[in-house]
Amino acid sequence: MKHLIIGGGIAGLHIALQLLDKNENDFLILEKAGYNESKIFSIKDTIKRKDGTTEEVLIELGPSVFHDKQVELMKLIKRLNLQNTFEFVNPKEKAYYVYPGMTSDEAKKKWREIKKRVFEETTNETLEEASKRILNDEDYKLLKTCWGEWYEVKDDNLQVLKKSLKEEGNYIVMKGGLSQIIEKATTLIKDKIQFNNKVIKVSYNKNNYTVYDSHNNLYNCEKIYLCANLKGAREIEFEGINEVNEYLSLGKIKHCLRCYTYFNKPINIPYKFIMGNFIGKYSIKYSDNLWLVAYPDDILALKLYNMRKEWFIKDWIEMVNKNFHLSLTYDDTLNKYCGYWEDAYCTLTPEFYEINSEGILKGEKLRNELNSKNILITSLPKDKGENTAWMEGHLLEI
């Protein structure tokens, strides 16, 4: 066999479709799960309100949004003929900041000033390191508390983060759910994906690979595409190619928790986003009745995962009542949808950005070496990490 793809999430399917389009039909995807266990996870449900009326809802428990400057994702969606499902997110939606002793407007103004100061930095640190160094304790606390996605981005290289935020396009969600990407792509590659096939070992010898799966099957191939999530990739034994483990060590795995709550009565407040001083830290309105009440990442996601969800939902209700003079109670909640991923995504560690004597980043040098040995790895974010935490970060053009 010529090409072997390990992992059948969006990254592996994207490689497979590119091979098909190049008339390279000699390939196979080995997928560990019994079905497509990609992180893309759309749920359709019918909510029954207390007065007997119903509402159809779409919940994206995994990724929910992308933007129109993400080149490979846009190509993939076009290839799958799914552009007609696009709904653009209104960029003028308002955010409300919750911070003790300040109004929302005061906290927002101060937060922007502090963020601007940190963004003026030109060092090669992470966002967290630069913020801790530049700011006093009080400003650091405000920056961190009022930055909804703080735990998602705090370990990003500050220069790369600044670049990626500047280059963001218009945000898009998909009518009918993002799972359509996985479903359609899987249909197109049909019999070229083998489920329940966990790869356990990859051996490299004289420009050829031997891959072993958990059923003691053996596959010989010329080129490997390692498209497993980072945790899955690290469980594979690599023989004769030490660079793989070295490269995989340049990623930090992050946790993620999402908890949507449907309320029996509409919450009529003119804000799409609420962020700040409450347990869930960041919340997003999908409709007046449906709120993502907790959107934490990293250690905060782990903290909420170990907590009864009633606690942080009640805390959110208390925060909304206090800030918007409402009288919601836990009895006003109906369906809840919660998901937790131990290995939701990964960031590139500071070691990735170490520059060698030839002026090349350590991570990029390793990538080049791996490419010269015919192994392409999508488990870590591509480029310098500009699309970290996005699907696009794992979509490599071949």
**Residues binding ligand FAD (CB under 6 A):** 6-12, 30-33, 37-40, 62-66, 198-199, 227-229, 232, 235-236, 256, 258, 341, 344-345, 378, 389-391, 393-394
What is the rounded distance in angstroms from the CA atom of residue 128 to the CA atom of residue 154? 5
Residue 147 phi/psi, 5° resolution?
A: -95, 100
β-pair partners for 60: 42
Q: Which is nearer to ligand FAD, 39 or 362 (CB)?
A: 39
Q: Which is nearer to ligand FAD, 122 or 214 (CB)?
A: 214
Residue 226 token pair? 């390692």
- Shortest reach from residue 55's CB to ligand FAD, in Å: 23
How many Cβ atoms are within 10 Å of 209's Cβ, its own excluded? 21
Residues in the chain: 398
- Shortest reach from residue 301's CB to ligand FAD, in Å: 9
Q: Which is nearer to ligand FAD, 114 or 199 (CB)?
A: 199
- Shortest reach from residue 268's CB to ligand FAD, in Å: 26
- Shortest reach from residue 272's CB to ligand FAD, in Å: 15
Q: Are strands 54-60 and 42-48 parallel, antiparallel or unpaired?
A: antiparallel
Residue 177 token pair? 């759910």
Beta carbons of 230 and 251 less than 8 angstroms apart: yes
Beta carbons of 223 and 3 less than 8 angstroms apart: yes
- Shortest reach from residue 338's CB to ligand FAD, in Å: 11
- Shortest reach from residue 203's CB to ligand FAD, in Å: 14
How many Cβ atoms are within 10 Å of 122's Cβ, its own excluded? 10
What is the rounded distance in angstroms from the CA atom of residue 22 to the CA atom of residue 8? 19
C-alpha to C-alpha distances, 246 to 6, 155, 266, nearest whole angstrom: 18, 19, 51
Q: Any idea which residue has 């955010």 for tokens?
A: 95
Q: Which is nearer to ligand FAD, 234 or 373 (CB)?
A: 234
Q: Which is nearer to ligand FAD, 142 or 256 (CB)?
A: 256
- Shortest reach from residue 214's CB to ligand FAD, in Å: 8
For 382: left if phi > 0, alpha if psi spans -120 to 50, otherwise beta; the answer is beta
Q: Which is nearer to ligand FAD, 118 or 177 (CB)?
A: 177
Q: Which is nearer to ligand FAD, 146 or 391 (CB)?
A: 391
What is the rounded distance in angstroms from the CA atom of residue 366 to the CA atom of residue 312? 43
- Shortest reach from residue 242's CB to ligand FAD, in Å: 19
Q: Which is nearer to ligand FAD, 12 or 363 (CB)?
A: 12
β-pair partners for 44: 58
